[in-house]
Amino acid sequence: MDDEHSRDAALFPAEAQEKPVARGAYRVLARKYRPSGFADLIGQEPMVRTLENAFELNRIHQAYLLTGVRGVGKTTTARILARAFNYELPATDGRPAVDRPTIHMDALGAHCQAIIDSRHPDVLEMDAASHTGIDDIREIIENARYRPVMARVKVYIVDEVHMLSKAAFNGLLKTLEEPPEHVKFIFATTEIDKVPVTVRSRCQRFDLRRIDAGLLAGHLRKICDLEGVEIEDAALAMVARAAEGSARDALSLLDQAIAHGAAQGGGAIAAEDLRHMLGVADKSRVIDLFEAAMKGEIATALALLQEQHDGGADPGQVLLELAEFTHLVTRLKLAPGAERSSALTEEEKRRGGVAAQTLSVSALTRAFQILMKAVEELRGSPRPLASADMALVRLTHAAELPSPEEALRKLGFGQPQPPERASRPAASPSERPGPSLSLAAAPQAAARSFAAPRPEPPPTGATIADFPALVALAADKRDMQLKLALETDVRLVRFEQGQIEFELAPGGSARLPQQLMQRLQEWTGARWMVALAASGGAPTVSEQAAARRQEERSGVESDPVVAAIMARFPGAEIVAVRGRESETNHAPGAELAYDDVEPDESW
């Protein structure tokens, strides 16, 4: 028993010197190996460095706000800070006395053990989840006036501070901003967004990070050595991944694994036993499943999923691990060498690298989206295995879908060619090439622009050459109402300098001639005669544009390339025909964009 006590003290000196528990009682690993000093904290180096410099420079803040997910050490850090504020150590042989705040606490000070045990009268811990009201905060404010009983400063630790009521937060603000010199506040929360900004601005905030799986696995290995537990490295990596960056979750799972290993008859805890305990899939079988799905081998993929389900793996967990491996492969493809975590097995690194060289980014991102959507669906599904099967069906069929370029090549229309640059001068109608086989190029029937180039408006006082110049002048003068009326309501009969005759389209305003006459006199400085005709007018500008669009659409539909694509994909529909350049430039040429083909649900 003494040997075990001294062995614990080597790694966790303060914790190992706690009072012995009652005979027969068991202290869980999460409490037994709870860090008691900053040196014991893992994965929080930025926070430790900042606090170390602050204590060395005597720039200690009055209030600290610790935030992060569960199990990363928020409450533990608060207790360590309380020790650091009140650290006192009498002089001994060869060691000087310490009577100032410090984070270097190699030995237990006068107040350390009581603070660790949460029984020090000057270090008060409050759970805001059960003390949410203004009365609880009023008690803190009134007691803060009195000096500490034993220690250097009085420390208030408020856990889950986001649970306080609005009135409680408001009541705390004045004391939090100007506390007595002998008072320090430490707040801990998992939901920082629920803490009012007025409180956050008065605190020094630290975001505690999730602990890296490799670092967590190394920490678990040290604890297993102290406990005399034999466990495979693969099993520790499995525990570290399942903990999702939480040290407390990892130690709780390790406790369960040790008990499970003892029930299996002793010996080293194997990864296979732990896999059954956690209900996770065999990583190598997950990779087999990934490779089968990405090759489109649906029968093999369904058989592998059934095999893992029969072995105790949860279907949702299998799909989640598939998504994680897809993410790993994507990272290995885009940033080789970025994944160097020791929590990864050699098989994951090797086979993930091979998959990264084989699969495209579009295939990987599509697979990840399908898998994550399937994981969400499985959470509420009454038939998880059937839902997972159907997700694999979608994944395998999606893996076989060709890219747009590959689709054209399979249709037998040659290699895609890049579209012409906008800087190239426009060819005359007789010189324009025939249909291009590029997906971004246009068929010959769609080579005409939707509208003629916009004419430049004439300067004020100048003549107006034609009706399009009049429409351009209205746009240049920012008279959008008149411009719209000229385009939609005017069926032109005759246009001469100083005279306009037109037929009014159905729905047009009878006041349009008078308004147009006034505007023309203002813009040109000359009098214009505007007359209405009963009939004989040409189509309006809008009607002419609609006719051109219909002509372009008919030309595209009759093109052999487009006809072959429409025949190959039943239910597809052409929703628009676009110009090669943006429509604002009105450059000649048009393109059939790939996203203009709207697929049906059978794709």
Minimum mean pLDDT range among 14-23, 205-214, 460-469, 548-557: 14-23
Q: What 3-state class would DSSP assign to 495?
A: strand
Any residues with CB less than 8 A from the CB of 481 and at least 6 apart, and which? none
Q: Residue 94: which domain range? A: 43-207
Residue 91 maps to a domain: yes
> Of 167, 190, 207, at which residue does a domain stop?
207
Contacts made by residues 285-288, CB under 8 angstroms, sequence distance 24+ = 286/318, 286/321, 286/322, 286/325, 287/325, 287/347, 287/348, 287/351, 287/352
- pLDDT at res. 23: 52
> Of 155, 186, 207, at which residue does a domain stop?
207
- pLDDT at res. 443: 39
Average pLDDT, the chain: 79
Residue 155 maps to a domain: yes
In whole angstroms, give the CA distance from residue 308 to residue 290: 13
- pLDDT at res. 462: 59
In whole angstroms, give the CA distance from residue 421 to residue 574: 25
Residue 476 maps to a domain: no
| CATH code, domain carrying 382 | 1.20.272.10
Residues 180 and 80 occupy one common structural domain: yes
Q: Work out how many domains the chain is built from and give that number.
A: 3
Residue 216 maps to a domain: yes
Q: Which residue has the higher pLDDT, 367 or 241?
A: 367
Question: What does the pLDDT look like over 384-418, one tens digit per residue?
Answer: 899 999 999 999 888 777 766 666 666 666 554 44
Q: Label residue 261 exposed, middle or buried (CB < 10 Å: 0-12, 13-18, 19+).
A: buried
- Extract the tokens encoding 46: 């930025």
In whole angstroms, give the CA distance from residue 520 to residue 528: 7
> Of 341, 366, 401, at which residue does a domain stop?
401
| CATH code, domain carrying 19 | 1.10.8.60
Question: What does the pLDDT look like over 106-157, one tens digit per residue?
Answer: 888 889 889 988 899 999 999 998 999 999 999 999 999 999 999 999 999 9
Q: What 3-state class would DSSP assign to 502?
A: strand
- pLDDT at res. 195: 94
Residues 133 and 179 occupy one common structural domain: yes
- The answer, yes or no, to whether residue 518 has pLDDT greater than 50, is yes
- The answer, yes or no, to whether residue 539 has pLDDT greater than 70, is yes
- pLDDT at res. 389: 92
Residue 331 maps to a domain: yes
Residues 81 and 171 occupy one common structural domain: yes
Residues 198 and 221 occupy one common structural domain: no
Residue 516 maps to a domain: no
Residues 15 and 118 occupy one common structural domain: no
What pLDDT band is residue 196 in, cutting at 50, 70 and 90? very high
- CA distances (Å), 393 to each of 64, 304, 400, 552, in order? 51, 13, 11, 40
Residue 53 maps to a domain: yes
In whole angstroms, give the CA distance from residue 70 to residue 87: 28
Residues 106 and 191 occupy one common structural domain: yes
Identify the helix (H) or strand (E) that includes residue 176.
helix 166-177
What pLDDT band is residue 267 in, cutting at 50, 70 and 90? low
Closest Cα to residue 363, out of 411, 329, 386, 410?
329
Residues 256 and 292 occupy one common structural domain: no
Residue 132 maps to a domain: yes
| CATH code, domain carrying 169 | 3.40.50.300
Beta strands 63-67 and 204-207: pairing type?
parallel
Beta strands 499-504 and 529-533: pairing type?
parallel
Beta strands 578-579 and 590-591: pairing type?
antiparallel
- The answer, yes or no, to whether residue 8 has pLDDT greater than 60, is no
Residues 80 and 179 occupy one common structural domain: yes
Residues 198 and 99 occupy one common structural domain: yes
Residues 197 and 215 occupy one common structural domain: no
Residues 156 and 202 occupy one common structural domain: yes
Residues 131 and 234 occupy one common structural domain: no
What pLDDT band is residue 533 in, cutting at 50, 70 and 90? confident
